[in-house]
Each structure stands twice: as C-alpha cells, then as structure tokens.
Homo-oligomer: A and B are copies of this chain.
Amino acid sequence: MARVVVVGAVAAGTSAASQAKRRDPSAEVILLERGEQVSYGACGLPYNIEDPRRSIEDVLVVSAERFREERGIDLRTQHEAIALDTSNKLLRVRDRQRGEEYELGYDKLVLATGASAAQLPLPGSELEGVFQLRTFEDGAAIKGFLAELPRKRAVIVGAGYIGMEMAEALHAHGIALTVLEKAEQVVPGFEPALAELVRAELHAQGVRVETGVELQRIVQAKGGLSVESDRGAFAADLVLISVGVRPNVALAKEAGIRLGKTGAIAVDQEQRTSAPDVFAAGDCAEARHLVTGEPTWVPLGTTANKQGKVAGANAIGAHERFEGIVGTAAFKVFGLEVGRTGLARAELTRAALDAISSTTTHETRGHSYPGNTTVTTLLFAERATGRLLGAQLVGGEGVAGRIDVLATALHAKMTLDQLAALDLAYAPPLAPVWDPLLIAASTAKKELRAAKSR
C-alpha cells in the first residue's frame, strides 16, 4: 500500500489529499497540518470579520471530522513537518500538542506549506492590538479583539488587496480608518490612473489614505497605539499590517529542493520538484505564466486548488498537468470591483516586452438603463503584434466577468483585432450594445496604429 504524505491542509494540501484518496482509495493518505484548522477559505476572512453576526467558523469549508471519517484521510492537526530527508524519504514531524517528535516515511510527498504574511522590521509589531491577517487563527484573533474594542480607530499598513478588503470590513464596524502605504499609490501594481479611482472611493467612504509613507515604529501611547512615521503619528486601537506574503519554503530549501528565481519552490507542470517523488502545490510553489512562458509566483486560492488536484493525482501515478496561470486576480472595495489579468507594467519591463497601453471608461449597462455605472479598462498590447498582454479594470459592476473574458483571451493568445471582434452579450440591464471591452479593444487598436506611425 502506497503512502502519500501531504504537508499543509488549507487549499492545495486538502485538494491534493482528497484527490489522491479519491483516485486510489487503497492509498494511505496522511495530511499534516501545523495549525488547528483545515480547509478554510482564507479569502473569506475579511468578509467574515465584517459581519459580527457570523461565527468565524463559517469560513471552514470541510471539517476535520469529515476528512477523517468520510474521506478516509489520516488528518493530523497540530503536527508540523520540521525536517525532510529526500534520500531516505523521511519526514521529521513535531506533534505540537504532545510535544513529541517522530519520523514519518513516505512513498510520495506533496509540499503544500503555503505562504505567510510578510514581516516588517518595524519596532512595536509585537504589541497587543497589532495584527496580520493570513490564517484562520489571525482572523479569529482580530474578530475577538474587535468585539472587545472600546474605541474605534484603526490603521491599516499596506494598501494591497487584503488592506482594501479589510478597510471595507473595519469600516462596517464604524471604525475611523487610516490606510498607510509606502508606495506613492494605493493597490501597487495597478497603473496610477486606476489606483486613483480606488483612492477616490476610499475618500468618498471617509477613509483617510496616506501614500509614500515611511513607517518608523509602533508605540504604546496614552489610550492606545501610535503608528509613527515620517509623516507624523497616527493614533489607533487596532493596527493591521498587510504588506504582502512570502512562500513557506524553509522545509524544502533545507532539504536541498530547488527554489525558483521567485523564491518559491520550482516545479514542472506535473507539480514535481527537483527531488524524486516530492511534489509541491499552492502558495509555496511557482507556476508557469502563460503570457511569458516563464515561472512566476502569484499565490492565490484558485491556483492552489488546481495545483493541489494535479499534485494529488500525480502522487498516485497519474500524469496530469497544470498548464499555468495568466495572473488573474480581483477584489471588491466598497462600491468598486477591481481586477487584473496578464502582465502589469513592471512585469512587461522585466520580460522586455514592448507594449502600448490604452485606457477607456464606459457605461456597464445599456443606454439610459437605470442603475448604470462605469468601468475603466486598461489594456496592454504588444507593439509589434497587437497581442493582448495584460488588463486592469476598475468599475461599479461586471468587472469579474470582463476580467475573465480577458483572461480567456490571454489563454488563447488573442490580438486586439480578435478581441474587438468578439460576439459578446448585449441586454440593457446587463451590458451596453458596445461592451466596454470592445470599445477598449478598438481604442487600443487606434493607439497601436498611432504608435507604429510615430
């Protein structure tokens, strides 16, 4: 009987374990999780925190019992893999509850160790009332703290996706909010013109936003915390630090498994690492970017689930492939939906791709249909060929669907000509007769022609 060991039981790990057991019910599948909770929708944490009537347990997708009983998986929570010997196919595991260590042999191993919140070298980060949001435990801690909070002031450090989602969540608690961002704009990675739309929405909701801020320290002040910076001090009862994530690769790295240029674990399209019989999947692993053909690291739940499924299947002898990603991501902040797919400017530069860009703003519904909103669409296209390379959208509705169309176009390596010719849906309540995407593509075509004649 083959033994498959999976390290990490959030998205990729639970997918891998479930897939392996489903494909080969006779396999022994052991799923190690250093935390207490498994299979939670981490992306749902901000929305759960937003609503005081919901229990934090709502974000759990599958209970530990169900893994054990229904799926027949040997799930071991609070068991942490601390060392890996790929020559002898042995893991060293610490049982955190009993304080004991043991060795665990495997036939196939899937590393799904995930990512952790990036740490700032910021004095005072350890103070009570300073949080990060990555794990179920983080979410539970914030939610518990909020329920007891006497006063209501918060500082969010970092204006990325999580910062934006938590701005909405904390705002719903009637908390006076300040968002501090080191970059000169919110949602770094987005083009400045689109980032300004997000900043305007934050302002409209009464959220204070400061960009280009250098933090110095967090100190305990009279009646709360104080976040000190080159732009003065900001009083807060709660500070959330959300400055990105880093892949958890220590176990792999110490075992001599190859990391990619991105710092995450290098894998082939069958999710195999450089070590025999060791797979990696999810936020700890790279993926191939289908626009550049190069490895990239975009830690997101969708990719984690897909890679986990492939790793789990291949761990029991299949040869499934995970083709790759196009860098699709989306979030909502107050009345705005925000999304991107493909390459952003920094990635275009890194890949030495010569691109034109074009930005258009158009209505999301038919002519004079009530409730109309606008969507701003930025497209990047290759100057020489007209091939779509990336897109960013900010709008009142319909952003996810349009981002998905553009992601599909990226998968198919479509040009602007092909994009402009798409037969898209039209109905006044749902979309205008010239969909904003078609206008964006036509406008970008003109920009491309103008750029060629310059």
Contacts and interface: CB of A to CB of B under 8 A. Distances in A.
Interface of A: 11, 41, 43-44, 47-48, 51, 54, 58-59, 61, 290, 300-303, 305-306, 322-332, 337, 339, 341, 366-370, 398-405, 407-409, 411-412, 414, 418, 421-431, 433-435, 437
Contacts of A332: 427, 429-430
Which has the most chain B C-beta neighbours within 10 Å: A402, A430, A437? Answer: A430
5 contacts: A332-B429, A337-B430, A398-B400, A400-B425, A401-B401
Contacts of A425: 328-330, 339, 341, 400, 403-404, 407
Nearest to A289: B423
Contacts of A422: 404, 407-408, 411
Contacts of A408: 405, 408-409, 412, 414, 422
Given A301-B433, A433-B302, A423 B328 contact: yes
A305 B433 contact: yes
A348 to B, nearest CB: 18
A403 B405 CA distance: 9
Contacts of A54: 368
A87 B400 CA distance: 53
A44 B363 CA distance: 15
A48 B368 CA distance: 9
A411 to B, nearest CB: 6
A380 B234 CA distance: 58
Given A328-B425, A424-B407, A430 B366 contact: no
A379 to B, nearest CB: 15
Contact of A405 (B44, B368, B399, B405): B405
A323 B428 CA distance: 24
Nearest to A398: B401
- 5 nearest A-B pairs in the assembled complex, by CB-CB distance: A401-B401, A412-B412, A330-B425, A400-B430, A408-B408
A291 to B, nearest CB: 10
B434 A305 contact: yes
Given A325-B423, A341-B423, 16 more contacts: A41-B366, A43-B428, A44-B366, A44-B369, A47-B370, A302-B423, A302-B426, A302-B435, A322-B421, A328-B423, A330-B425, A331-B430, A339-B425, A405-B405, A407-B423, A408-B412
A287 to B, nearest CB: 9
